[in-house]
Amino acid sequence: MEVAHPTLAGNLVPDGVVLLDNGSSAFVEIDRTMSYARLVAKLERYNAYRNAPASGRGNAARAPRSHWQETYAGPSLERPFPPVLFVFAPAPRRAAPATREAAFHDRARRVGGVNYRMTVATTTLPLLTRSGADGPVWRVAGNGRGEDRCSLAALPKAR
Would you mind telling me the total number of residues written for the chain in this entry? Answer: 159
Give the pairing of strands 84-88 and 120-124: parallel
On whether the CB atoms of residues 109 and 142 are closer than 8 A, the answer is yes
pTM: 0.88
Element (H, E) at 19: strand 16-19
Distance CA 16, CA 92 (A): 23
Residue 84, SS3?
Answer: strand
Distance CA 41, CA 37 (A): 6
Distance CA 40, CA 43 (A): 5
β-sheet bridge partners, residue 2: none
- At 107 the pLDDT is 87
For the chain, 159 residues long, the average pLDDT of each consecutive 10-residue run is 77 90 89 89 90 69 74 75 94 90 87 78 95 93 75 86
